[in-house]
Every structure is written in C-alpha cells, then in structure tokens.
Chain A
Amino acid sequence: MSKRLKVIEKDAVVIKFSGDSGDGMQLTGTLFSNTSALFGNDISTFPDYPAEIRAPQGTVGGVSGFQVHIGRRHINTPGDFADVLVAMNPAAIRANVSCLTKDSTIIYDSDNFTEKSIQRAGYIADPFAEDKLDTLNLIPAPITSLVKEALKDMEIDPKTVLRTKNMFALGMVYWLFDSKLNYTEEFIEDKFGKKPLIAEANSKVLRAGYYYAETIEALTPSYHVSPAPIEEGTYRNINGNQATAWGLLAAAEKAGLKLFIGSYPITPATGILEELALRKDLGAKSLQAEDEIAGICTAIGASYTGCLAVTSTSGPGLALKSEAINLAVMTELPLVIVDVQRAGPSTGLPTKTEQADLWQALYGRNGESPVVVIAAGTPSDCFKYAFEAGKIALEHMTPVILLTDSYLANGSEPWKIPAMKDLPAIRVPWAVKTDKDYLPYERDPKTLARRWAVPGTPGMEHRIGGLEKTIKGSVSYTPENHEVMVRMRDEKVERVVADVPDLEITGNKSGELLLIGWGSTYGHLVSAVTELHEEGYKVSAVNFNYIRPLPANAAKVFAGFKKLVVCELNTGQFANLLRMKYQKFTYHQYNKIQGLPFTVKEIKEYCIKLLEGK
C-alpha cells in the first residue's frame, strides 16, 4: 500500500486503546485484534471498562480501555505494559501510567488536551511532564479537527462526525503495524449497511487516519509482527462468556438433552445468558428470571425434568443462590452453576476481576454441602470446562460450580474450532425400567450417582425434595440414615477424581520453585515460567482447573520442588485449601487484590527475590 522507510520486526507487541467510555474503544480494540488474528498472529485481549455506561466525561473513572497483545510466538496474557497507547484524552494518560514503560509510544488526540480536560483528569497543566512521561515517544495528532476536515463535505451531523474519531485512531495504528484495512472495512459495511452515509464516513476516516500516519512520518519506524506458528486448523476469536455458553450447548448436544438456562442479568456474567438466549435454533430454552434465586430454581425444575440445566451469575448472585444449590445437592440433580467472579465483597468493583469466590463456591452453604468445583484457565478454555462441568454434572448427578472471572469472560483469544465428534461422549445415568420399583436414591456402585427418572416416564413416579431421604425417597429423620446420606453425598463428589486428569507441569518436574495457580492465573504463570526458565532459573508452574476434587497427583508434583508459591487474585484462599489438604508442604503466597490480573513482571520479580533469598 505504501512505502516504508523503516520496518522493525517484533516478536510481540501490546497495544492499548483508551478513551472515554463513549469513545468506542472496545470496538476499536476488537477490530484491531480480529485483524491481527486473521493475519495469523497469536493474540490475547483484555477489555477494562468502568461500571457506569457513561461515566462523567473526561474523568479517570470514566476511562474505558482495550488491551491487545499480538505476537509471532504463543501469547498467554494480554501483556503487562503497552508498547503503544492510544489516548483519546488526558484522563486516558492518567489511567494508564502504570502500564507504560520508557519505550512506550503514545498516540493522543491533541485537540482533546485543552486546559479544561487536562484539569478534569487531575493534572495542572502538562500531563506528560507531571507524570514524567515526556521522554516517551509522544505522537500528538489533532484527531478531532482532522476528522471534521475529512468529513466536511458530507452531510452528517456533528455528533456523528465526532463518533468516527476512534476509526481515525485505528487507521493510524494499522499503519504503524503495517496491517490491512479490509477486515475493518468489511465490518463497517456490514454494520452500517443500512446507513450507507455512516458507513462511508467511518471508512473515510479510517483511511484518513492511515494516510495521516504515513504522511507525518513520526510513526517511523513502523512495526511488523509475523504470523505465529499456529497449529493447523480453522480458528475463530472467542471470549470467555461466549466459550462458556457454547461449551454448555456442546455438552447438551453430546448428551442428547435440551439445554435450559435460568439466569438474572449480572455483570460480568450476563453475556452467557445473552448468548444462550440466541440459540433457540439449537433448542436451548432460556428464561430471564425475576431474581437470582428464581434463576437457579427454574434450572432445578428443568433439571428434575431432564434438561441439562444451568444458571449463570457472579459472586453476589452465587450468594443468593446458596440455599437452592443445597436443594440440588440434596435432590442429587445435575446442575451447572457458572460463577463469573468479580471483585467483591458486596457490589465491590463490579467490572473488575478477582478470584475471591473460591471459598464461597466450596463452603458457602449450610450443612455438609459437597459440590464439584472447577475453574477455567483462559478465555477459550471456558468452552472445555463448561463442557466438562456439564459432563460431570450429568454423569455424577451433582451440582457443579464452574468458576471463571471477569478477566476470562471479557478477554478473547484465537481458538481452534473443535469438531463435535472429537469431544468425549456423555453417559447419562438414566433409570431403566425393571421388574423392581424405581428407587430414587439407588446408586451406581462405581460413581455413586443415583439413577435419573424424569416426569412423564410411566411407572417411575417418585417424590424428592430438600428433606433428608432414604434410598426409597421417603422422608427420614433417622439419625443413622442422615449420617449415611451425608457421607454418601461427600463420597460421590470425591469419586469424581477418577475423571480428573493429572496436573500438567509447565517446565521441569523438579526444581527450585514451583508456581501454583488456579483458573485464570494460567497465562501469567506460564509466561513467567517461560521467561524465568530462559533466564536460567529452575522454576516450573502448575495451574489447577479442578478444585474439588483436586487432581490425584498434586502432592507428588509438589514434592519435586524446594519452594512452593501459590499465586492468586485474593488473600490466599487456594493456598489455605492446599495447607489443609497437603499439610506436609510449606506454601508461600503471592497475592493481588486490585481488581486487576497479575502482571508477568511482578510474578517474576517475586520469584527472583524468593530464589535469591532477598
């Protein structure tokens, strides 16, 4: 398309788009990451947005960001630091100071750096000097006036004109990374097909940004990130919530059941309900319930009636569902409860990530209440573990809590599309008609799962409920029966361990230090270990996806290392679980409770400090 003076080949680059929550930064970031993925880069993305739909304009609290990490090698995290920051206003500078380095480039809309907006962001006069960023590669671009200029001959209102600013910034970034515009142009055509004028304006501005970057030559050198060596196959981008929804649908199809979801909207889990509400073509039945409790109770009703039943929520909703989870424990019905964790307690930081619902998932109910708890590690991993949650729930007749979090739910990555025929079979323990009466709590001798008979089946009429029962399903207050049933339910969940794969170690089987994480810590631990290993440290990592039951080889893996460090986004819930389960080891903890994922840098620094005894 154009001649370039100098192009630098990079292994990986992090770009962050940042602006007001109405500036269209999420869309800009998504378009950039899709373009890179189509080109063949590996990518990881992380949107970071405020709880308010339109927080006060120009304030730091109202900044919405979208971070994209692209590479020619395997990308495990959205990246610690931005190589390029696109800042639509001064607040976007202030909000991102901690993710900039001395080598960062900042492209900013200089038209928006007025005295008023500078002060609004909490600066006195010069944001770059005040935050000591003036030695960075600063690229001012009068985006607002350039957009007005580009569209001056078109008959569109000034508000719509300003709304295309994000396309200008995107055009500049495309030039900087030597990317093609065609994917974005197709998207614009698709989205505004019915409004040709708006489509034209967006396309025009996109190109204007691209050519502007070329003309000013300030963005020299430009970068090139070659395609990553990615396994052959058909790929798509997927975020954690979509992957979760699809994994559940896949489990239902594999089991030959209808999927039912009863849920109440809650950030950041709502995407799962929205996705499943679309899928009437696949027979998925969705109900937006009147509250969290109705969400799970409708799911329990549907489960009793033979659906793969699901309820999705976040921490506050899980709290409201706890009594009903126990009803599913007691009635031993298959049920998947998805908890997309967010920073708590109470309403907490509703759009930010945290892993602090682990104990709630394990213990947050009355009585002895064993449930299976599993956790997904990456956005696309959510498909696998949602499928697994459905499979375990059905095969073992038990509620399963699937933990994801805001970071996984909103983050996206390229995903090799699986074929349904390659997914494992799901064997539902249906009750089979025999000469004998159907006994609702008669169990499979191996798994201890009870047999499932659903309403509508002649001759298997039975009653179940929250009161303690005998094998026959009769209410029983007999002391001995209660103890037998309590232990039975516990043992049933423990026996799921037969389906739990061994922990996989990233790095060597033994060494100085083992990083231990669970769920969404996966990417950061793998990146940290890979880099530490390259730097000569004897560090490995394991990341748990099965919390209850834990993988059978955990203690054996731990024994290969001199030091164990449990990394998690809470004050140490998993570390304490391990202390209880495997008491002979000493566990160090690396914790973060800031509503943000780890950075690879901080994990590495902690490890080095610990290894060098500082």
Chain B
Amino acid sequence: MADTNTLQYTAKDFKSDQEVRWCPGCGDHGILASLQKTLAELGVAKEKYVFVSGIGCSSRLPYYMNTYGFHGIHGRAAAIATGIKIANPDLMVWEMTGDGDALAIGGNHFIHAIRRNIDIKILLFNNEIYGLTKGQYSPTSSKGLVTKTSPYGTIEEPFTIGQLVIGAHGRFFARTVDYNLQLSAEVYKATALFHGTAVVEAIQNCVIFADGVHDNITNKETRDDRTIVLHHGQPMVFGKEHDKGLILDGLKLKVVKIGEDGVMEKDLLVHNAEETDPGIHYMLAGMKYPEYPVAMGVIRAVKSQTYDGAMVEQHVRVKSTSKIKCMDDLLNSGSTWKMK
C-alpha cells in the first residue's frame, strides 16, 4: 500500500452510485460518512480496499462504498475476508458486521479470525438488536430486554464485545459512537493503520427497533461524564469538567474525583494501549455505566505477527529450500520407475 502522497481523494470518491437504503436517522449513515472521510485521508489507492460483509443492516455498507466489495452470507464475513487477505496480502480488507452477524451466527469465525491475527479490520455495528429481521434480541441485548422473541424479557447474559475480543487473544480493540464523527475519524484511522485483526465496536442506534438503547452514554448532554475517551500515553481523565479519572484500587478500577481525598492528576492511570498483558485492557473494555464511564477510543493495540505475514514468510522459507520448483518436478519426485 504505497503511493501515500500522490493520491488525493475526497470522501465523495468513495461514494458508490447505489442509493443508500438505511432508515432515515439510522446510525449507519454516520458510520458510512466517517469511513468515507477516513479512507479519503489515508492515501491508499482506492482499488486496494475491499469491503466484506455478512447479513444485516450493517452488511449493506459495501454496496455504498465505491471500492471492491463483497456482500456475503450471514455470519461468514470474517471467513470470506480471511480468504481475500490470504489471497492478496497487499489489500486492505474491512469487514462490516453487526452484533447478530459477528457474535451469534458468525461467532466461530469472529473468534478464530482474532486468534489468528489475520490483518483485517472488523467494524462491528452494535445496536443490541436484530434490525433487518425487525426486532429480535441479539447477543449484546441487555438481560431482561423485551423484544418480539423475548416478550417477557430475555433471560440471557449479553456479551461484552471488547472482553470477548481480548479473551480470544485480540490485539486491537477500539470503541466509538456512530454519530461522533470526530472520535470515529480518530478510531477508524488507528484501525486502518494497525496490522492484525482490529475490532472496532461502533455503538450504533437503531431508530426503529432499539431507539435510544445507548442514550445514557451517547447523549450529548451527559456523554462526557459517562464515557472516557482513552488516548495512548495520556492519563485516564474524563468528565465535562475534566475532573474525574480512573485509578487502580486493589484489583479493580475505581473512579475518582481529581482534587478530592488528595487525588491528583498524576495519581491517575496512564493509558498504555500497547501493553501486552491484557489485564487492564480487559477491565477497561468491560466498564459499564453507571459504576464506570464506558471506555471509548483505542483500548488495546498490541503489535504482533499477523497470520498473513507469517504465511508469506513460511512460503519464502519453504521455497528457498525445496527442490520442487514446478509441477513437473513434483510429478516426478519420490519413488518412480520406468517401463519400456
């Protein structure tokens, strides 16, 4: 992915001629716009992008991107994306998926892509509901949620996406909000530049079937006090007045107020997204309001060898020592005999 300086794109270059068919007000519009803007700024040649998806509202996104795109089948986008990346490691492969697509029907491919650390960027639209099938609960719906398939409330514990990612040996996890364009631009850019399986949870609002489920953390009035945007190397400060922070209290994180009980900014935890030990990242990813602020931004970004990179290396190594250079060599290798 070279030519970074010579390519000049605008967001418009990434808009396809397809009519966008999401509901008016759907969070997906925000995600699409942020992505198109980010891509235009990366300087990567347009033909190197591939957008892959499964099934669901989120999975329609590739049709609206004027890049290579593949709309797959339910749950299988991670597997399709894996094949694309292995076939041509020079491509930048993005997977568009949702909480049902990636975590229910596609759970197996999701965790195994992460485990392998194949260099794909997984953008998981989390609206805690099945939208395209018109309102059933998903693996991230909060326990007790009343939906068409849980008329008396769900009796299932939801997944916390970041914790699942880290549990599957994930090296990259970030979180953003659909219409927070500034945060999204920052997060999508970091995702694009990371090498390895990079999972971004985009908190997304389904205006029809789960309108407002994220309101307590996305509402502009209160969000600064209920979320914390993490930046690598920066102290963990949050709040409208920048007056709150996180410390480690024993084995748990704790919210503190700067200036109270002798707590100074220097006492706060400093975010290290590159720490290989997943302990703090796991706790940060799991923080829930009201006990904690919900963590936003890049929570974990640990460099390590990618699957596709390792495969290329293995090929080079085997090729350099093998006597078999072409099919004729293989066909005539080993035990053969001549008949006259």
Contact = CB atoms under 8 A, between A and B. Distances in A.
Given A253-B327, A289-B79, A456-B90, A304 B70 contact: yes
A511 interface: no
A280 B319 contact: yes
Interface in A291-316: 291, 293-294, 297-307, 309
B88 A253 contact: no
A298 B327 contact: no
A474 B18 contact: yes
Interface in A351-409: none
Residue from B314, B326, B328, B335 having most chain A Cβ neighbours under 10 A: B335
B92 to A, nearest CB: 10
Interface string B305-336: 00000010011001100101111101110111
A234 B333 CA distance: 11
A291 B108 contact: yes
Contacts of B328: 419-420
Contacts of A475: 18, 63
A234 B87 contact: no
Interface of B: 16, 18, 45-48, 50, 52-53, 55, 62-63, 65-73, 76, 79-88, 90-91, 108-109, 112, 311, 314-315, 318-319, 322, 324-328, 330-332, 334-340
B329 to A, nearest CB: 9
Nearest to A296: B79
Residue from B62, B83, B319, B322 having most chain A Cβ neighbours under 10 A: B83
Interface residues of A, number: 67
Contact of B86 (A34, A287, A294): A287
B338 A233 contact: yes
A302 B109 contact: no
A100 B213 CA distance: 74
B76 A297 contact: yes
A305 B73 contact: no
Interface stretch (A153-161, A464-472, A517-525): A464-472
Contacts of B53: 465
Given A283-B315, A291-B108, A460-B47, A260 B332 contact: no
- Per DSSP, chain B at the interface is mixed
A136 interface: no
Interface in A134-176: none
A79 B11 CA distance: 70
Contact of B87 (A301, A331, A458, A463): A301
Contacts of B63: 463, 465, 475
Interface in A440-474: 454-467, 474
Given A302-B87, A304-B87, 11 more contacts: A236-B334, A246-B330, A282-B327, A298-B86, A304-B70, A324-B73, A419-B328, A455-B84, A455-B91, A461-B69, A463-B16
10 contacts: A253-B327, A280-B315, A280-B319, A281-B319, A300-B83, A301-B84, A455-B47, A461-B66, A463-B70, A466-B55
The 10 closest A-B pairs by CB, nearest first: A465-B71, A301-B83, A281-B322, A297-B79, A298-B83, A305-B87, A463-B69, A280-B318, A455-B68, A290-B112
A467 B88 contact: no
Contacts of B339: 40, 230-235
B234 to A, nearest CB: 37
Contact of A456 (B47, B52, B66, B83): B47
Contacts of A304: 70, 80, 83-84, 87
Contacts of A250: 327
B168 to A, nearest CB: 11
A179 interface: no
Contact of A281 (B52, B325, B340): B325
A418 B50 CA distance: 39
B91 A297 contact: no
A500 B108 CA distance: 40
Contact of A234 (B55, B71, B327, B337): B337
Nearest to A280: B318
B338 A235 contact: yes
